[in-house]
Amino acid sequence: MENEIVIDAAEILYKVHSKTNRELVLLTENKAISKKNKELIIEFTEYKKFKGLSDVRILKYFNRLRLMVLKLNKDLDKVNKKDIETLVIQINNSNLSTNSKGEDLAILRLFYKWLKGNDKKYPKEVQDITIRRETKKRAPSEILTEEDILAMLNVTSSVRNKAMISILADSGVRVGELVNVHISNISYTDDGLIQLMVETGKTGGRRVLLIPSVPYLSTWLNHHPLKDDPKAHLFISLDKRNHYGQLSHSSVNMMLHKIAKKINLKKAVNPHAFRRFSATSSSSFMSDSLLMMRYGWTKRQTVSSYTFLNPKEADNSYRKGFGKQELKVKESQLQSVVCICKAVNAPTNDYCNNCGKPLNLRVALSLENKRIKIDEQMNNLIEKKPEILDLLAKMIKEIDK
């Protein structure tokens, strides 16, 4: 199963690389684009790739910047604010969708932030650019649920994939943040939880506390082929073509799609969908300010675009306002299971990783039924052949010696 997922991801990645190479050819061989502009665009995209941007995003930058310089007809390092304003008007008057226009303007701002702002601040040429986006409203049925995530965890046997799925659902980290985590970025709290130090070009670094995903991550760390190398990436490729190399964004996406297909899940299943699920789950007990800190958002309006409030939570708040008893909130199905031996186990485990005892009533009853059947069969056998008792007694004496 693992090989099948990796091969599909590699094929997708190959297609993306082919398109990127084609864009590079279109840029370098276009005589209408100056040598300076070609150099600047290539330098910018190489810098962004170094910062961890996905191949798909790099492809987008190549394409949009190539088309923009054709409209500017001027070296990018020589343009003034008036030139930028003219280009912005052209983009806004184009037949592109609102979101595509916004994306072009965002790329333009990022380019000049890198070129003239040392990638730290937006220069005066692009400071006044207003970006408009249309936020797609998602129906509650489109959001991933705990049942969806548990089904995905149950259907995969890969400890690496289980860890990735659980961390995405628990932390809501961006896919670029996830694939760039190193083993050295993991630290343990005094009470046995795990913190991830994630770094991103958007908001710098932040620590993300993990709780439900701890058992899955701990199991993966025990199986990690490079677990003793702090510089190794937390999630590595297990494919022979990129053996133990860093996972790509495409590989993570393909892994999620493949597993979702196995359970016939029709919803959008990508890292962004897990981020939305995680934020929605956390919004029931965290304030907007805390959500911004945990998910690395800089604007409060982003919170509402990611989260979906549960109507039951609104009903409970209304009940509370009138002194009525609140409806009992269903306990999270992703919560870790603590065995009587105090060991923490994943919710998909049937038996304790530490002592082997059953972790739920269903498994315990199943074991008891099997024991009863074995006892009945043994009693029937002894009734027919009493000499078996003497044989068993001798075997026990031999074991005790």
Residues 258 and 197 in one domain: yes
CB 280 within 8 A of CB 274: no
Residues 49 and 189 in one domain: no
Tell whether 244 is covered by a domain. Answer: yes
Q: What is the pLDDT of residue 314?
A: 61
Exposed e or buried b for every residue in 184-203, given b needs 16+ CB within 10 A? Answer: ebbeeeeeeebebebbbeee
Alpha carbons within 13 angstroms on the beta-carbon side of residue 28 total 9
Residues 204 and 110 in one domain: no
Q: What is the pLDDT of residue 4?
A: 37
Q: What is the pLDDT of residue 13?
A: 45
Residues 172 and 283 in one domain: yes
Look up the CATH number of the domain holding residue 266: 1.10.443.10
Q: What is the pLDDT of residue 239?
A: 84
Phi and psi based region of residue 255 (left: phi greater than 0; alpha: psi -120 to 50; beta: remaining): alpha
Look up the CATH number of the domain holding residue 102: 1.10.150
**Whose structure tokens read 């995905």?**
152
CB 305 within 8 A of CB 143: no
Following CA atoms 231, 235, 239, 241 in sequence, which dihedral angle do they give, to the nearest 10 degrees? -50
Show the CA angle centred on residue 272, arms to residues 126 and 14, nearest 5°. 85
Tell whether 129 is covered by a domain. Answer: no
* Dihedral angle sign, alpha carbons of residues 29, 32, 36, 41: negative
Tell whether 18 is covered by a domain. Answer: yes
- Cα first-last separation, the chain: 47
Structure tokens given for 211: 């709780």
Q: What is the pLDDT of residue 137?
A: 63
Tell whether 395 is covered by a domain. Answer: yes
**Whose structure tokens read 């008891």?**
368
pTM over 0.85, yes/no: no
Q: What is the pLDDT along the chain (401 residues), one digit of tens a residue?
A: 344 333 344 444 445 556 667 777 788 888 888 999 999 999 998 898 887 777 778 888 888 998 999 998 889 999 999 999 999 999 999 988 888 899 999 999 999 999 998 888 999 999 888 888 776 666 677 889 999 999 999 999 999 999 999 999 999 999 989 999 999 999 988 878 889 998 765 555 788 999 899 999 999 999 999 999 999 999 999 888 888 888 888 889 999 999 999 999 989 899 999 999 999 888 878 888 888 888 888 777 777 766 665 666 666 665 666 576 666 656 677 777 777 777 777 777 877 877 877 767 676 677 767 777 887 887 787 778 777 777 777 777 777 76
Residues 110 and 170 in one domain: no
Domain finish residue from 295, 310, 325: 310
Tell whether 124 is covered by a domain. Answer: no
Tell whether 10 is covered by a domain. Answer: yes
Domain finish residue from 244, 275, 310: 310
Q: What is the pLDDT of residue 8?
A: 40
Residues 144 and 277 in one domain: yes
Residues 198 and 302 in one domain: yes
Residues 171 and 241 in one domain: yes
Q: What is the pLDDT of residue 159?
A: 94
Q: What is the pLDDT of residue 376?
A: 80
CB 214 within 8 A of CB 344: yes
Residues 294 and 396 in one domain: no
Residues 296 and 155 in one domain: yes
Residues 7 and 153 in one domain: no
**Domains contained in the chain, number:** 3
What letter represents residue 108's amino acid?
L
What letter represents residue 111's amino acid?
F
Q: Domain range for residue 69?
A: 2-116
Tell whether 326 is covered by a domain. Answer: no
Show the CA angle centred on residue 210, arms to residues 209 and 214, nearest 5°. 150
Tell whether 166 is covered by a domain. Answer: yes
Domain finish residue from 310, 326, 344: 310
Residues 6 and 67 in one domain: yes
